[in-house]
Amino acid sequence: MSKVGKKPVEIPAGATPKVDGQTVSVKGPKGELSFVVPDDVSVKLENNAIMVDPRTQTKRARALWGTSRARINNIVVGVTKGFEKKLEINGVGYRAAVEGKNLNLSLGYSHPVLFPIPTGITVVTPKPTEIVVSGIDRQQVGQVAAEIRAWRGPEPFKGKGVKYEGEFIFRKEGKKK
């Protein structure tokens, strides 16, 4: 039995869910998202909550049961509160700035890195060494943050590069004479 799948997805005030066959769509104050539930899982709306159950007891159905419930919960949270990831930049001369629809990154290369900001994602730089990626789709927010981090990941000797806020960088000792 899935511990995650057993719990119903509660719908907060301000969000209106709609279940149409295998498609779950939720409209909220921040926007609208939908998710197509796999055929191995049944989904129904009752008492202002979305219930997810496996149709059979196969390994695939049980695996998709908790995953589907988590994905539905993510779209409910996304359209009501939204998601955000914070990135920190460490290093001399490393900085970021939003210029129109692009994020301009100076990460020690001989040229500035222009990262195009996808639609549905908001990127803000409160400080030159801080980047905040936010949006309603959790997967897209995480993907954009990972792509920004991939330009110059943190290195283990001095910790220079782009890292997630609160991420621990395992430090190595340098060469000895």
Q: Is the pLDDT of residue 4 over 90?
A: no
Domain shared by 143 and 70, yes or no: no
pLDDT in tens, 58-113: 999 988 998 999 999 999 999 999 999 999 999 999 999 999 999 999 999 999 99
pLDDT computed for residue 107 by the predictor: 92
Domain shared by 51 and 89, yes or no: no
Domain shared by 29 and 55, yes or no: yes
Residue 175 covered by a domain: no
pLDDT computed for residue 1 by the predictor: 66
State what percent of residues in the chain have pLDDT above 90. 75
pLDDT in tens, 136-167: 999 999 999 999 999 999 999 998 999 999 99
Domain closes at, from 49, 80, 111: 80
C-alpha to C-alpha distances, 7 to 2, 20, 53, 62, nearest whole angstrom: 9, 21, 10, 14
Residue 121 covered by a domain: yes
The one-letter code for the residue type at 110 is S
CATH no. for residue 61? 3.90.930.12
Contact 38, 28 (CB under 8 A): no
Residue 32 covered by a domain: yes
Domain shared by 7 and 74, yes or no: yes
Domain shared by 66 and 90, yes or no: no
Backbone angles phi and psi of 28, in degrees to 5: -140, -175
The one-letter code for the residue type at 86 is K
Instruction: Look up tokens 């209106």; give the residue.
Output: 16
Question: DSSP state, 55?
Answer: S
Domain span holding position 23: 3-80
Domain shared by 25 and 88, yes or no: no
Domain shared by 108 and 126, yes or no: yes
Number of domains in the chain: 2
Question: Per the structure block, which two tokens stand in for 14?
Answer: 């301000």
pLDDT computed for residue 175 by the predictor: 86
Residue 143 covered by a domain: yes
Q: Is the pLDDT of residue 47 over 90?
A: no
Q: Is the pLDDT of residue 118 over 80?
A: yes
Q: Residue 106's closest CA among 142, 86, 131, 135?
A: 131
State what percent of residues in the chain have pLDDT above 70. 99
Residue predicted with more confidence, 176 or 168: 168
Q: Measured between alpha carbons, how far is 53 from 113 in angstroms, rounded to an integer?
A: 46
